[in-house]
Amino acid sequence: MSLGIDIGTTSIKICFIDTKNNVYFSSSKVHESDVKIRPTYHEQDPLKIIETLINLLKNLPIQIDNVKSLRISGQIHGIILWNSSITRKLEKCSNLITWMDERCDENFIHNIKKKVGESLKISKGYGLLTLLWLRENDINFLLNFDRCGTIMDFICCYLKDNFSEVFITDQNAVSWGFFNDIKNNFDLEILSKLFPNNFFNDYMILPKIVAANNSIGNTIKTSSIFGIPNDIQIKACLGDLQASLSIVTLREPVLFIIIGTSAQVSFILPDTSDIVNKLQENKLLLRNKFIPNYSAWTGALMNGGNALSKMVNIICNLYSDILSINDDDKKKLKEKICWEKLLNMSPNINQSTINNLIFEKLFLDERFNDTVQDKHLPNGLVICGLNENTSIKDIFSSIAYKIIENMHNIVSTTTLFSLGISKMTLIGKANTPLFKSLIMHFYKNQSVMELKDLYPESVSIDSALGSAMFDDVTSCNNF
Residues in the chain where the model's pLDDT stays below 50: 369, 371-374, 459, 477
How high is the pLDDT of residue 371?
43
How high is the pLDDT of residue 373?
47
How high is the pLDDT of residue 350?
64
Domain residue ranges in the chain: 2-240, 248-454
Residues in the chain: 479
Domain spanning 2-240: which CATH class is it, in words?
Answer: alpha beta
β 233-239/215-218 pair status: antiparallel
Fold identical between 2-240 and 248-454? Answer: yes
CATH of domain 248-454: 3.30.420.40
How high is the pLDDT of residue 231?
92
How high is the pLDDT of residue 25?
85
